[in-house]
Structure 1
Amino acid sequence: MRLAKKIHNDEGVVLLAIDSELTSGIIRKLHNHGLDYVYIQDADTEDIVVKDIITSETRHKALQEIQTGFRSLIDPQAQKKNYPLIGRSFSGVVDSILNDISSDPEVMIMLLNINAKDQYLYHHSLNVCIYTLLLGKVHGYSTEELHVLGIGSLLHDIGKIKIPNSILSKPERLTDMEYEEIKLHTEYGYKMLKDEPGIPLLAAHCAYQHHERLNGSGYPRGIKEPEIHEYAKWIAIADSYDALTTSRVYRSALLPHQALEVLYAGYGTMYDKYMMEIFKSRVAIYPIGLTVILSNGLKGVVVHIHKSITQRPIIRILYNEAGERLDSPYDLDLLAHHSIVIAGVEGLNTHMHT
């Protein structure tokens, strides 16, 4: 297999170029870098274009700003040196993301974990910000509201920089005491942000409330729906989804349709029904490039997603019911064939065709 899309590290340096051969050693190294999937070349699917939600330039610049800003918020010396630039740099990140997602009104929530992730917190914060802003835009928030929502989602997990890494990255089950320590990140984040000049006070409340749930089962205060700010409700969905679709030391990543099932278990009890419907309408449940197995035994690759019904995409059929490669692949639109459904997905930590 050869790579169809280059892979960067956190600094934007290309780790693997297009056309690189994926040996078992390279695959192992990529896995160690936290990669969940890669795009591979395939002559029968080379016409498929996988569009990123934000440009690679925006992503790399945002990650650098997030890294600098987060460190400034915990280091008094750096904070003194960078004041009042911290709020300004986070605002710049939000503006650049809004600019990218506004360029395509049809943009869908696609997989964002294609590049190496050496710093989970920074990538997670950026992903949650992208997802939340996209949802807020569909909902119809004003530019000013989106700006505050963007800062809140970007900084929702800032309190985790005060949690020991030995707990955050522990591969085994957390003890009760360790779990209580993890839960404190919401309070730490609130205290860090509430008096920070240039950071909206609502952003502090997003950090405080993003783990609260409608039925009162969340933390840190166990408050119920009327008391939870709507921005925190949006962030709760985006935060949970990104955590589920990213591989961690203690579990493998879920694919979008699996993560959506987990979220829907909390439909109306943990997560707002209206917000979940907006989320479902914008998430690419079966992302372009994913290999799927159909209920009639045929196997192929997702080539197009219908925005109206995302669970019924167009599939490029590559294999017959016996698993034999077809000489002449063809496209099958599941929207026009209601009796056929996607029955399974080939592999999890695997490759995507393009």
Structure 2
Amino acid sequence: MRLVDIETVEQGQNLGKTIFSSNGSILLSKGVQLTVFMISTLKRLGVTAIYLEDPDFRDISIEEVISEETKQMVIHQMSESFETMRSGKSFSTKAISQSVDQLLDDVMKNQNMLVQLSDIRTADNGMYLHGINVCMISSLIGLNMGLNMIQLKELAIGALLHDIGKLDAPEVQEGRMHHAWRGFDLLKHKREYSLLIAHVAFQHHEHVDGTGAPRGLNGDEIHLYAKIVAVANRYDNLLFGGPEEERLKPHEACEQLNAMSGIELDHEVLTQFMRIVSIYPNGISVKLSNRQTGVVVGQHRGLPGRPVIRVIDKESESEASANEIDLAQHTTVFIDEVLV
């Protein structure tokens, strides 16, 4: 499969990756033949790019740290919990903890995979996929930094719920209370949770140079969990920001994060993040320095900027030849541009 701009999608093409709804159910299944109505609906939901099946790249898949089954389960549980809160009731800490246990189980099994954020974001599922991505990335960073399982569980719950203060809070919308304060207030009363979980929501917008919010903490005043979540949160926001924000490609987002090292973001946390992320994810189209164009089909852990590229040369209307260029071996060839 390969990633394409939604504006280039035509009816009759087959979807390459399942798209989830806001309650964890399947909105569109992988392999479904797209209709004009489906394409129009995806555009209306804010989708800008999707994965399509492609005969030249049918063997290409994206390694997922979190399985589709786990994502469905976590989205469903987050949806139920947040709707409970919107109705003025208290959410089940036990259900959230069980969701995090399953997510952490996937992370532990797949901790050597590079992070490739490939889920199709819509206006409806965005909040939940954001929470899952921040939780997954934070957990992988925590593993790399030597956190034990108790610490990882605290970090993961805090990461999953870091934006809980944004839930239909008029005082947040009107600017009278930063959502970090509200998130802290909501979570600190959960006796089943460590107070450190509440501090993740409280501190994830603080900057190590003291210019952040809501309290202007700096350096060691910010807990490690919050420093980790700050990096994961910022990366996901750079890739999938709001409709009025420019959405960056992974390599652009990584460049911007590096520019924040020691200013907004913790240098050591950022170093660990760069070891787990795929700068050029599988399925994206790129232009190489030798003027060839192709699709990323493979990764090298430890060399995120040197993936494997498959170039398709159309020799005639009926024939085509494929050539794979491993940039780890071809050291004089570089990626000049990401096309989608």
**Which TM-score applies when normalising by structure 2?**
0.88
Instruction: Note closer, same or farther for the CA distance 1:257–1:235 as it changes in structure 2 (3 Å cut).
Output: same
Indicate if the aligned counterparts of 2:181 and 2:202 stay in contact, CA closer than 8 A.
yes
- Deviation digits for residues 188-236 of structure 1, max 9, x if unmatched? 1111111222121001111111000011110001111120001000000
Q: Does 1:68 align with 2:80?
A: yes
Aligned counterparts of 1:250 and 1:26: Cα–Cα separation in 2: 24
Opposite residue 291 of structure 1, the aligned amino acid is S
101, 111, 119: which is aligned to 1:113?
A: 119
Structure with greater contact order relative to length (CA < 8 Å, sep ≥ 6): 1
1:18 is displaced (CA, Å) by: 3.6
- Aligned equivalents of 2:288 and 2:322: distance in 1? 15
Matched, 1:56 2:68: yes
Q: Within 5 Å, give how 1:102-251 maps onto structure 2.
A: 102-114=108-120, 116-164=122-170, 167=173, 180-181=175-176, 184-251=178-245
Q: In the alignment, does 2:327 pair up with 1:315?
A: no
Partner AA of 1:267 in structure 2 = S
Query: Is 1:35 the equivalent of 2:28?
Result: no
Q: Secondary structure at the match of 2:115?
A: coil
- Does 1:26 pair with 2:38? yes
Native 8 Å contact 2:208 2:265 kept in 1: yes
CA gap of 1:14–1:63, structure 2 versus 1, over 3 A, is: closer
Deviates more, 1:195-204 or 1:117-126: 117-126
In the alignment, structure 1 residue 13 sits paired with structure 2 residue 25: yes
| DSSP 3-state at the match of 2:323 | strand
Distance, in Å, in 1 between the alignment partners of 2:265 and 2:147 is: 19
Aligned partner of residue 282 in structure 1, secondary structure: coil
Cα distance change on mapping 1:2 and 1:121 into 2, 3 Å: closer
Q: Does 1:278 align with 2:272?
A: yes
Q: Is the 1:33–1:118 Cα contact (8 Å) retained in structure 2?
A: yes
1:102 Cα deviation from its structure 2 partner: 1.4
Distance between the aligned counterparts of 2:38 and 2:57, measured in 1?
23
Q: In 2 relative to 1, CA 114–325 (structure 1 residues): closer, same or farther, beyond 3 Å?
A: farther
Q: Structure 1 residue 112: deviation in Å?
A: 4.2
List per-residue Cα deviations over 1:94-135 (Å, max 9, x = no partner): 100111111123122111432545043232222211111121
Please, what is the CA RMSD of the aligned residues? 2.5
Match of residue 45 from structure 1: 57
Contact kept in structure 1, 2:145 and 2:272, CA below 8 Å: yes
Match of residue 262, structure 1, among 236, 256, 262: 256
Q: Return the TM-score normalized by structure 1.
A: 0.85
CA contact (8 A) 2:19 2:119 kept: no
Shift of 1:166: 11
Partner of 2:320: 327
Structure 1 window deviating more from structure 2 (14-23 vs 253-262): it is: 14-23
Contact 2:138 2:232 in 1 (8 A): yes
Shift of 1:280: 0.9
Q: 1:164 to 1:315 in 2, by over 3 A?
A: farther
1:339 is the counterpart of 2:337: no
User: Contact 1:10/1:60 (CA < 8 Å) preserved in 2?
Assistant: no
Contact 2:100 2:156 in 1 (8 A): yes
Which residue identity lines up with residue 130 of structure 1 in the other structure?
Answer: M
What is the alpha-carbon distance in structure 1 between the residues aligned to residue 37 and residue 246 of structure 2?
20
One-letter identity of the residue aligned with 2:80: T
Contact 1:319–1:325 (CA under 8 A) maintained in structure 2: no
Which moves more between the two structures, 201-210 or 189-198?
Answer: 189-198
For residues 322-345 of structure 1, give each alpha carbon's deviation from its aligned partner in whole angstroms, at most 9, with x where no partner exists.
9x9982111001111121111111
Distance 1:22 1:265 in 2: 41
For 2:87 and 2:246, the matched residues in 1 are separated by 33
Matched, 1:91 2:91: no
Q: Is the 8 A contact 1:112 1:127 kept in 2?
A: no
Q: What's the CA shift for 1:73?
A: 4.2
Contact 2:208 2:262 in 1 (8 A): yes
Aligned equivalents of 1:124, 1:221: Cα separation in 2: 24
Structure 1 Cα separation of the partners of residues 17 and 277 of structure 2 = 21
- Distance of aligned partners of 1:240 and 1:326 in 2 relative to their CA distance in 1, 3 Å threshold: farther
- Which secondary structure state, in structure 1, belongs to the residue aligned with residue 287 of structure 2? strand
Q: Distance in 2 between matches of 1:36 and 1:108?
A: 23
